[in-house]
Amino acid sequence: MGAIEYLPFDKRKPDAQYRELLLRILDDGINTMPQQEEQSKMVMGHQMRFELKNGFPMITERNLLDENRNKKIFHMALGELFAFLNGARTQKELESFGCRWWKPWITKEKCEKRGLKEGDLGPGSYGPAWRNFPTSEGAGFDQISHIIQQINELPRLRTHFVSPWIPQYTIRGKEKQQKVVVAPCHGWLHWFIFPETNQISLHHFQRSADVPVGLVCNLIQYGALLLMVAQVTGYKADALVYTISDAHFYNSQLNDVQTILEKTTAQCLPTVKIDPNVTDLFSFRQEHFTVSDYFPQLPFKRIPTPV
């Protein structure tokens, strides 16, 4: 069975990649005015590489195991991942997996603009794209199930790729109707299998990252997904390579960014393990994950993000 072999905690190197990204945006970022109509700073093209043996990609700058409205951020991030892996597209479905933060984006007003019912993320959202991608044959295509099958049958291929982007549902313009409340920001997955060493790595691409808020959850999600796929396919999780096209923060987040940079330092990343008895990718839940060696420096704080 696949697994992750972590270095002993005292042998790990402190990881400064999250801080370096915040600093890069602060020092070199371009001032922009996105559609949210709040000034932001962004850098185009940024890549991080996490060797999982050196720790799980969960930031230590803030405590992601703090309670937020009776839910831990770590567990809500996992809940969103599990929901999308199981094809969820509504707020009700997301909440059944323990994720509650989509409410500001699926109001009646916002959904009606897309021709959707209140609470519906739309057929162009992550769950439908991953599990029910539209085809000319009429039946939806299950990208996740088929990629697991392909990895098992033909591991040496370099086409183990999954996309959350359904172009006809995300394009905008005159006489066009977008069919998703938020065009997918993350979830482009390119898997690499190395049979000689029995290892699996994931290159994840993200088109847009709110670095103080969304990114900290996305890192958890795709680190967890690498562990999960490694386990169900029988490989050892090796590296998560994380590419961001548009990495940004908003002016309203500047004070929080400065606080993080002034009051924290690079620390060793924690240990995250999963229940070795789970063999079905779609059956993972929050209780199958344990966190140890985690020493966050600041308490969790709800950082504003434009809707």
Cα(91)–Cα(255) distance, rounded to whole angstroms?
31
H or E stretch including 156?
none
**Strand duo 236-250 + 199-210: pairing:** parallel
Which pair of tokens denotes residue 267? 């620390």
In contact, 128 and 140? CB cutoff 8 Å: yes
Cα(123)–Cα(206) distance, rounded to whole angstroms?
20
Give phi and psi for 148, each to the nearest 5.
-65, -40
111 given a catalytic annotation? no
Residue carrying structure tokens 């597209």:
89
Which pair of tokens denotes residue 140? 């939806």
Residue carrying structure tokens 């970022």:
29
11 by DSSP, 3-state: which? helix
Q: What are the residues whose beta carbons fall under 8 Å from the beta carbon of 280, sequence distance 6 or more?
A: 232
In this structure, what DSSP letter does residue 294 have? -
Q: Among the options 99, 111, 185, 268, which is catalytic?
A: 185
> What number of residues does the chain have?
307
| Type of residue found at 9 | F
Give phi and psi for 107, each to the nearest 5.
-70, 165
**Strand duo 199-210 + 67-68: pairing:** unpaired
Q: What are the residues whose beta carbons fall under 8 Å from the beta carbon of 174, sequence distance 6 or more?
A: none
Tell me which residues are annotated as active site: 185
